[in-house]
Structure 1
Amino acid sequence: MLTLHGFDASNYVNMVKFALREKGLEFEQATLYPSQEDAVLSVSPMGKVPVLETGGVFLSETNVILEYLDETTEGPALYPADPLEKAQVKQLVKHIELYLELPARRCYPEVFFGGQVSDETKEQTREALLKGIRALARKARWQPFLAGDRLTAADVFFLYSADLAKAVAGKLFGIDLLAEAPGSAELLARLNERDSAKSVAAERDLAMEKFLKYARGGK
């Protein structure tokens, strides 16, 4: 049995959960928050989530987990079999992670948790998000998915990164980020209508209050 360690408010955990459900795989969940405590570091060297436990082995890093699932389990493939097409999907995944998700994350404290970030950080984030979404618009196929006519790992990353980047751009800069990539808002809406996405969203919403308390130093 596969066990997914993490928490339901994490977008990276939800990427893996969505993929597991799209593939029709059975799995268990175990609550785990990011930490530098020894118990967490023993299963996740950087103390991050998600972590997938399989056969007594713990795998971290979302893209690694998705590739492992594709190579070892049944269900719809998240990566094409053709090496060049697979490389193009992996390129899109890396682009979304580096140039949308990670820049937006720098401003999460102010947008989602009541904190503040510096004006310099905000300006750097604004420039990075605009550059990133415009580059994605040039690279993606939108036919109707990012890499072509079927859902891939690129769409999984987009689903759980674009909405957060859009929220940051809208709240801090008054920018409709997805308007910079025609077709992206429609893709996000279609992805959110999938049964797997709906179930993940419901569980995320239920877990959010508990996570916010944890993030603010509560128990």
Structure 2
Amino acid sequence: MESSVYIFAPTFSSFARSVMLCCEEKGIHYTCGMAPAGTEIRSKSPEHFAIHPYGKLPALLHDGQILIETSTICRYLDARFDGPALQPADPLERARVDERSAEIALYIDQALLRDIVLEFAFPKGADGQIRLDKVQERLPAARSVLKRVRELLADNPFICGRDYSMADALLTPILDYVARLPLGDELIGSGAVKEYLERMRQRPSGQKVLNMA
């Protein structure tokens, strides 16, 4: 019997949702939470650092092993389990998925999720107020990466072309959170990015993962 996958992270984590989307797409049984042994582990606690040396999330626990870094986790799940491939067989196309995944995890995530979404989710202003001046400062970078996403999509159904890949799993939760912001409609727009997000939301994986509390 295949051992269960445990995703160590809260279910609202965008990167945890990326891993969950990969699991859903491949039909992998998984659990996501902060209590891998039944007792909740506090963020940044010694127990957390014992799982992830930098105190980050998510981490994957499977077969007595721990893996960190979302893209690495997604590649492992794709190679380890049966189900639809999340990476192409062709070397160049596979490298392109890796390239897009890194671009999303490093740059698009920073400009959209870290710099914009988290300011609304966890305001750092006086008395817990959203720092709207900071949001305004960061909007040009957010618009720039969304322009890049539109360019990558072009007329393709997915971010790397004709097939769903782990890069889509990385991108979708970020766009989903942006779209839910008060300024989400303005940022996402009415063209290719909005249409792409709606397609991802309508997939069975998206319907399950993106609607979690």
Greater shift, 71-80 or 111-120, is seen at 111-120
TM-score for the superposition, normalised by structure 1 = 0.80
SS at match of 2:60: strand
The one of 140, 144, 149 equivalent to 2:157 is 144
| Aligned-partner residue type, residue 27 of structure 1 | Y
Q: Name the CA shift for 1:14/1:34 in 2 (closer, same or farther; >3 Å).
A: farther
Greater shift, 9-18 or 140-149, is seen at 140-149
SS at match of 1:176: helix
Give yes or no for contact 2:157–2:196 (8 Å, CA) kept in 1: yes
**Alignment RMSD (CA, Å):** 2.4
Task: Say yes or no: does 1:11 pair with 2:24.
Answer: no
- Structure 1: stretches of 5+ with no match in the other structure: 206-219
Structure 1 residue aligned with 2:29: 26
Structure 2 residue aligned with 1:183: 192
After TM superposition, give the deviation of residue 169 of structure 1 in Å: 7.7
Greater shift, 57-66 or 28-37, is seen at 28-37
Cα deviation 1:37-82 (Å, max 9, x = unaligned): 1100111111122111122111111111001111221111111111
The one of 84, 92, 97 equivalent to 1:89 is 97
Residues in 2 aligned to 1:200 and 1:145: alpha-carbon distance in whole angstroms: 18
| Aligned-partner residue type, residue 21 of structure 1 | E
Residues in 1 aligned to 2:15 and 2:200: alpha-carbon distance in whole angstroms: 16
Task: Say yes or no: does 1:164 pair with 2:177.
Answer: yes
Residues in 2 aligned to 1:46 and 1:167: alpha-carbon distance in whole angstroms: 30
SS at match of 1:28: strand
TM-score for the superposition, normalised by structure 2 = 0.82
After TM superposition, give the deviation of residue 29 of structure 1 in Å: 3.5
Identity of aligned residues (%): 25
Residues in 2 aligned to 1:34 and 1:159: alpha-carbon distance in whole angstroms: 27
SS at match of 1:52: strand
Structure 2 residue aligned with 1:47: 55
Cα deviation 1:61-119 (Å, max 9, x = unaligned): 11110011112211111111111111211222222233332123123444123443656
| Aligned-partner residue type, residue 153 of structure 2 | A
Number of equivalenced pairs: 200
